[in-house]
Each structure stands twice: as structure tokens, then as C-alpha cells.
Structure 1
């Protein structure tokens, strides 16, 4: 039978965080209910993350290990965990303990009491983050709320609880590169929030450097808004107006007899128009690339092993 609660934890090179994570997560879950499972998704780690998690399974029967064959990214690893999770409620949390596992019980109690399908973990205090991280995160959520909609919760990352209904609805969507922090609120399920103070990373380094943050922002904009296409349209209109003005100047210059070889104006005009055209082509290319990726229908992850499947085979053979 399906357990009451599944906890999905994407992991990538988190060997130093395994012990402190286990020390806090297991007592927190045991205090809630014995009917739970922990789905650890190893996202192609290059260290001993998978081996350490696998070693814990002998004394922790609720622990499952799913290993991806290569590093597919945080959102893909999260998708793998959601797909394989069996619980009536599913919580996603990172392994770095910046999001407190002790809040899972409060999230589950709120969902069951108020009949909610989604409970967001909202960061009430991000003082442990760097100034750059706080400002870029604030800019990201402001931009998303402006472009996508005011229903996007502020400071709500991937620490959330989902009901089985919400999980099934998410997995049924055709998004090839899902951004769950926008996709979940877009579904419009009844939701609530649980606030907490964001802690410092317990070990290791962040798995979201500047490059991945930019990639997340780009995926968020192009997956949920047509604003870049509208920007290309406005740039095209502005370019057209500038061309009309330049044509007017050219006619006036011809009538007034000012038409001497003017390579500077021609050079500037070519650069100006060429830059706008390249900008528009780049924006359109982002959408064409996503169409191409969707048409190919390549999976975003490949599961190498699932300890739950091995356990079922052992039980059947016995």
C-alpha cells in the first residue's frame, strides 16, 4: 500500500551532508508517522553520495535510493523522485539542510487539517545568504510575478508539500524542462504556506552557481511568458520608426544638396539594424530550441537502479 508520506531529496555531490541530514530528518519523520518513505535521488554524483545513502538502507528500511546514470540537473532529479514517489503526500527538500526537515510535520498537519493540495515552505529570513544571492533572488521573484502572475509566491523555492492529486497533475503535463516553483502555483490547487528561517548550508558548496541561476531565470521566462517575443516585436517597431526618420533625413539632405559621401551614417545604420535583428533572432531562437527539444522527446533523465524494485523482486521470489 502507498505510504502516507514520501520525502524526495535530489542529491548531487552531497557526501558531507548525508550524516547531518540523516541525524535531523529521520527523527523528524519518525515523530510524524511510521508510514513514510524517503526517496533519495542521486543525480550522477562524482563523490560517495550514493554509496553512503545505500549503506544507510540496512538500518533505515524506509529509505530508497534512485541513481541517475548522469548528472541531469536539479529539476530533472526532482522529476525522477516525484515520478517514483508513492506517498499520498510528497515533500521535496534539498540535502543541504538550509530548509529545516522539522517543518515537514507542520506542513503535513496543515494540508490534512485544511484539505490543501499544496503547502509552500516560504523563507521568512534569508540573512544567511550572501547579499548577491538575496538581491538576485528578490529580482527573480519580482520579475516572475510581473511577467507570469501575482499568484507566484514570494521566496518559495523547492521546499514544498504536494498531495497525490497535485503530483499526478504535474506529471501529466507535457513540460520537457519544468520549473516547479512556477509550474506548481500555475495549477491553481488550494494552497497554504509555512514560514521558516533559512539556515546556512550544512556542508559542501552551492549547486546553483551564477550560471545555473541565469539558466533557471531564462527557463522560467521562456516557459511561462511570451514577453520576450513581445519585446522582439517592440524592438522591430522601434527599428522601423528609426528607419523612417533616417529616410526623412536622407530626403532632406538630398533636396538641400548635403548628399556627400556619408559612410559614417551608413555604418551606424547598418550596425543599429543588424544589432536589433540579431537580438530578435536570439529571442526567437530560445523558443525554437524548446520546440526542437520537445519534438525530439528525449528523456531528461535515465534511472539506473531503484532499490524499491529490487526489494519487490526479492519478496516475489521468496
Structure 2
């Protein structure tokens, strides 16, 4: 729904999970920036089922910072689901999504807001111009990810743009109206095709705490991105089947010629190699199909990707609210 006339101009949505170490640093940097904007704002902290003292720290901070709003999820739903929960709850005419680890500097927010207003764009992406603080492995896998997305023809996702962005109310409403689960917002937002701009910044080291994106989650994000936005893997499976059929035909032709020429056929080694190769191709194709079938199954179930336990703006919400 559109933001009410009395609502804030800006909402800053911050998903967080077990971020007790970085919260004081985040507030110390973010609050002076948003206070200095000279416009009404809210900071929506999405507590993604934290099991440390993050909820306690947030409640204490809220007593000193009226614009801080706490939305607590009943269980850990994941980074993308937590951002989706924040977008569904945010009331601002403009919404910024920002991670709590301070690797993406909040000092860029005023520039994002200025560009959105002056240029009339719906999305302003934060683009990492300098990623020297990231490991070589992370920089390499990120380049591979965006290169692969473009090669698969999924969409023209901004290079080195993660989940740090500013969106207009129209963009947020469009994202919230989408029925799909397992959203990868760094691809969903560009797929809308709304007018956009970009702001460059230097990627910083995590201010405190430990990363919440290990290799396993990065792989899962990549799989969701590819299967959610491209049919290329299905076509790849089809081509594998065609190539496997041609290879089998070639082996059959070779066997018939060898029989006619009375040559001995290769023994068990070649047989095992051929059978194992064909089996591997079949399993790969089945795995690709399984990913797509699994996404269809999850969509048909229509289970909410998160449950709201508490919203400080609605103290009586109680915990029954859910969002797909």
C-alpha cells in the first residue's frame, strides 16, 4: 500500500541476525546521517530470530531513539526474507535497504535520496567501486556470479550492486505484490525495469561480529538466482541429453563397424566409462529439473517465508501476522 500522508519520507530497512557487537557502531554512524536529512524518517530493524542480545540492545536503543522501529521475526528466515519483511512493513515514500555490518557505508544515503528526487528515478543502486577489503575469493566469485547471470540472459543486473539500494514507494509496492517465494532482491528489482541510477562507494571491512554469509549460503543464493530468473539450465539439460544421444549413437556405430571387421571390442574399462558418463549426465539433468520442480512445489504450497512475532509500531500485533 502507498505510504500514508502522515508517514515518513524515508524508511531505512536493516535486516540483522546476531549483530550485538556491531549495533552500537551502526547507530553511532547512522543516526547523525538520517537526523541531518531534515525530513521525517524511520529506521526499521528486522530482527531475524537473533539468539544473542540483539533484541535487548534494540529495545534499549529504541527508548533513546523514537524513530527506531523493531520488527521481530518468530524464527530465522534468512537474509532475503528479512529484507522482504522490512519492505512489507516500511511506510516511507523512499525505502533504503542496508545491512547492519557497515560494509556498505550509510553516509551514501543522502546522495541516494538527492539523486532519486532530482533525477526522478525509482531505484538508486549502491555500486561497490572498490572491493579491495573483500577477499580475492569473494571478489572472484562475485564477478563470476554477475558474469554468469548476464551470460544466461536472465537480466542486466548492475555489476557489483548487492542489496544496498534506495527504492521509491512505487518500486516497493511492485516488489511486495510479487507472489514468488525465495526472492533474490538484487535480481528482482532490476527485473522490474523501473528507471534507475547508481552511486559508487568503497566497500569497507565488517565493523564487528562475524559474517552471516558463509560459502553454503552464497551457493544457495546463486542457485536461487539462476533458477529463479533463467530457463538456460533447462535448455542446458536438453542439450546434454541430445549430446548424450549422439555419443551413444557414435558408440553403437563403432561397435557395428568393429563387428563387421571382426575386431575385438574394448573390454570392461570402456564399458564402465561410457555407462558412468551417461549416468552422470542423467543425474545432472535430473538435478537441474529437480531444482525447478522444487521451486514450483514451494510456490504451490504458498507457505509464508517469514512470520512476524512483534512490531514495535503495533504493540498488540502479538505474533500472528505472516507474509508470503
Which residue pairs with 2:257 in the alignment?
252
1:293 aligns with 2:295: no
Change in CA separation of 1:312 and 1:276 when aligned onto 2, cut-off 3 Å: closer
Taking the aligned partners of 1:65 and 1:268, their CA distance within structure 2 comes to: 59
1:117 aligns with 2:125: no
Taking the aligned partners of 1:193 and 1:87, their CA distance within structure 2 comes to: 20
Which residue pairs with 2:96 in the alignment?
91
Which residue pairs with 2:321 in the alignment?
none
1:277 aligns with 2:289: no
Taking the aligned partners of 2:232 and 2:78, their CA distance within structure 1 comes to: 26
Taking the aligned partners of 1:172 and 1:33, their CA distance within structure 2 comes to: 31
The one of 163, 183, 188 equivalent to 1:158 is 163
- CA-atom RMSD, angstroms? 1.6
State the SS of the aligned residue for 2:36.
helix
> What's the offset of the Cα at 1:227?
1.1
The one of 156, 178, 184 equivalent to 2:189 is 184
Which residue pairs with 2:198 in the alignment?
193
> What's the offset of the Cα at 1:311?
8.1
Which residue pairs with 2:48 in the alignment?
43
Taking the aligned partners of 1:311 and 1:122, their CA distance within structure 2 comes to: 39
Taking the aligned partners of 1:127 and 1:261, their CA distance within structure 2 comes to: 54
> What's the offset of the Cα at 1:305?
0.4
> What's the offset of the Cα at 1:249?
1.1
8 Å CA contact retained: 2:19, 2:209? yes
Which residue pairs with 1:316 in the alignment?
none
State the SS of the aligned residue for 1:10.
strand
Change in CA separation of 1:185 and 1:34 when aligned onto 2, cut-off 3 Å: same
Taking the aligned partners of 2:142 and 2:280, their CA distance within structure 1 comes to: 30
Deviations 1:205-254 (A, max 9, x none): 11111111111111110000111111101111110111111111111122
Deviations 1:77-131 (A, max 9, x none): 0000000000000000000111111111110011011111000001110111111
> What's the offset of the Cα at 1:258?
2.9
Taking the aligned partners of 2:9 and 2:201, their CA distance within structure 1 comes to: 24
Which residue pairs with 1:3 in the alignment?
8
Which residue pairs with 2:32 in the alignment?
27
1:73 aligns with 2:88: no
Unaligned stretches of 5+ in structure 2? 1-5, 319-324
Q: Name the structure where helix makes up a greater proportion of residues.
A: 1
State the SS of the aligned residue for 1:15.
coil
Taking the aligned partners of 1:260 and 1:207, their CA distance within structure 2 comes to: 56
Taking the aligned partners of 1:94 and 1:169, their CA distance within structure 2 comes to: 22
Change in CA separation of 1:261 and 1:243 when aligned onto 2, cut-off 3 Å: closer
Which residue pairs with 2:134 in the alignment?
129
> What's the offset of the Cα at 1:148?
3.3
TM-score by length of 2: 0.93
> What's the offset of the Cα at 1:274?
1.2
Deviations 1:11-42 (A, max 9, x none): 01100111010001000000003400000000
Which residue pairs with 1:218 in the alignment?
223
Change in CA separation of 1:121 and 1:254 when aligned onto 2, cut-off 3 Å: same
Change in CA separation of 1:261 and 1:214 when aligned onto 2, cut-off 3 Å: closer
